[in-house]
């Protein structure tokens, strides 16, 4: 439990949690403004919103952001709740669930996504000279300096991501958001999604997800790929494609600096990997096209 919140950002690593308590700071108590004040965390609905700090010529501004707008991944991968709230204190818990996939949609932060929350007094209508509801208040942009009279703590949580955010596909649940939405999907004759086909020159990188108990085919995808149904080492096919692994994905990236002499852009045949059952039933397929070979 954190009662005295440090000014430096706190790092929330994968599989860990923070529990923080917002209490009335009597050293900042102002009888005119804070009499009967109820401590709470802002923005409202922290399970859906957080602040992003934006530095401007007028000072630091707190910009309300939707959580899902900056962090995606497996369903319930990141939990943010207020388990207890009284007239004396308000608790906030942030949990990165073990085994979950978290990816950053924020182009400026790929490894850690900063989320800011404010411990302060409950807003009243007189604070804004207008009637507001909770949903409206969650979307209000705030300046840090004017907040000083009723703000007691500003805390930044840097949430660790587990994997990169790329075009890709694989075995996912319906509410998972693991890959970029512009990923071109492949469908069977009945209109069911069975994989994706990625222009690697446009996307620059691709990811494939095949969790246990399912099996990658070839087993060393993308170090090995199918080409016209034949398994080949990636190094035999292209000098400019680089295979690697993250915590949950196998990935493929383009390194245009090492295009081999005589290599040409090829649309076909696509380079292919599959995710199959132990009996060999194909569940998902990724195809890579427009590569140097």
Q: 143 and 218 in one domain?
A: no
> Which of the listed residues 160, 176, 206 is the one where a domain comes to its end?
160
Of 40-44, 58-62, 83-87, the range with the highest mean pLDDT is 40-44
In this structure, the answer to whether residues 152 and 227 fall within a common structural domain is no
In a domain, 254, yes or no: yes
**Per-residue model confidence (pLDDT) at position 139:** 55
pLDDT of 1 strictly over 50: no
pLDDT exceeds cutoff 50 at 5 = no
Contact between residue 24 and residue 31 where contact means Cβ atoms under 8 Å apart: no
Whether residue 121 is predicted with pLDDT greater than 50 in this model: the reply is yes
Residues 6 or more apart whose CB falls under 8 angstroms from that of 45 comprise: 134, 135, 138
Q: What pLDDT shows up at residue 128?
A: 43
Mean pLDDT to the nearest integer, 62-77: 94
d(CA 7, CA 121): 19
Q: Which two tokens stand for residue 277?
A: 């059952």
Whether the predicted pLDDT of 2 surpasses 50: no
Neighbours of 30 (CB within 10 A): 11
The domain boundary residue, chosen from 160, 195, 230: 160
Structural domain includes residue 17 = yes
Dihedral sign (CA 76, 79, 84, 87): negative
> In which element (H, E) is residue 234 found?
helix 234-237
| 197 found inside a domain | yes
CB contact burial 32-51 (16+ within 10 A = b; e otherwise): eebeebbbbbbbbbbebbbb
For residue range 187-210, list pLDDT tens digits in order. Answer: 999 999 999 999 999 999 999 999
Same domain, yes or no: 205 and 96: no
pLDDT for the residue 13: 97
Write down which residue in 160, 176, 196 finishes a domain. 160
| Alpha-carbon span 41 to 63, nearest angstrom | 15
Domain assignment of residue 73, yes or no:
yes
Q: pLDDT category, 289, cuts 50, 70, 90?
A: very high
* 27 lies in the same domain as 156: yes
Q: Considering its fold, how many domains does the chain have in total?
A: 2
Tell me which of 54 and 182 has the higher pLDDT.
182
Please indicate, yes or no, if residue 4 is contained in any of the structural domains.
Answer: no
Q: Are residues 140 and 28 in the same domain?
A: yes
Q: Kindly state whether residue 195 falls inside one of the protein's structural domains.
A: yes
Q: For all residues of the chain together, what is the average pLDDT?
A: 86
Q: What is the mean pLDDT of residues 215-236?
A: 97
Torsion of CA 30, 33, 34, 36, to 10 degrees: 130
Express as a percent the part of the chain with pLDDT over 70: 83
* 184 and 47 share one domain: no
The pLDDT tens digits of the residues spanning 79-105 come to: 999 988 888 889 999 999 999 999 999
**Is residue 45 located within the same domain as residue 137?**
yes
112 belongs to a structural domain: yes
Say if residue 32 is in the same domain as residue 149: yes
Q: Are residues 229 and 117 in the same domain?
A: no
Instruction: Please tell me the predicted confidence (pLDDT) of residue 132.
Output: 42
Residues 152 and 181 in one domain: no
pLDDT tens across 236-278, in order?
999 899 999 999 999 999 987 877 666 788 878 999 999 999 9
pTM of the model as a whole:
0.84
Which residue range(s) make up the domain with 117? 10-160
Percent above pLDDT 90 for the chain: 65
Q: Do residues 133 and 270 both lie within one domain? A: no
61 pLDDT band, cuts 50/70/90, is confident
Q: What is the CATH number of the domain that holds 200?
A: 2.60.40.2860
Q: Are 153 and 109 found together in one domain?
A: yes
Report the pLDDT averaged over residues 157-184.
95
Q: Which residue has the higher pLDDT, 34 or 99?
A: 99
Residue 3: inside a domain: no
């Amino acid at each position: 439990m954190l009662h005295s919140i440090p000014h430096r950002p706190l790092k929330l690593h994968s599989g860990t949690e923070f529990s923080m308590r917002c209490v009335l700071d009597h050293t900042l108590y102002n009888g005119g403004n804070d009499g009967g004040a109820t401590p709470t965390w802002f923005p409202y609905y922290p399970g859906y919103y957080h602040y992003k700090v934006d530095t401007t010529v007028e000072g630091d501004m707190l910009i309300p952001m939707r959580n899902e707008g900056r962090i995606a991944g497996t369903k319930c991968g990141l939990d943010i709740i207020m388990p207890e709230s009284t007239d004396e204190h308000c608790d906030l818990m942030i949990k990165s669930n073990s085994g979950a996939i978290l990816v950053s949609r924020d182009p400026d932060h790929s490894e850690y996504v900063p989320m800011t929350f404010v411990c302060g007094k409950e807003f009243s209508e007189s604070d804004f000279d207008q009637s507001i509801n909770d949903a409206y208040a969650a979307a209000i942009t705030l300046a840090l300096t004017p907040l000083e009279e009723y703000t007691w703590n500003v805390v930044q949580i840097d949430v660790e991501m587990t994997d990169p955010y790329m075009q890709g596909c694989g075995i996912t649940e319906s509410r998972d958001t693991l890959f970029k939405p512009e990923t071109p999907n492949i469908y069977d004759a009945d209109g069911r999604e069975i994989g994706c086909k990625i222009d690697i020159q446009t996307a620059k990188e691709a990811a494939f997800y095949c969790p246990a108990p399912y099996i990658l085919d070839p087993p060393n995808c993308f170090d090995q790929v199918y080409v016209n149904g034949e398994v080949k080492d990636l190094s035999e096919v292209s000098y400019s494609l680089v295979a690697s692994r993250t915590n949950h994905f196998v990935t493929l990236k383009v390194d245009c600096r090492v295009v081999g002499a005589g290599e040409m852009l090829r649309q076909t045949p696509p380079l292919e990997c599959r995710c199959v059952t132990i009996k060999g039933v194909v569940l998902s397929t990724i195809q890579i096209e427009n590569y140097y070979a």
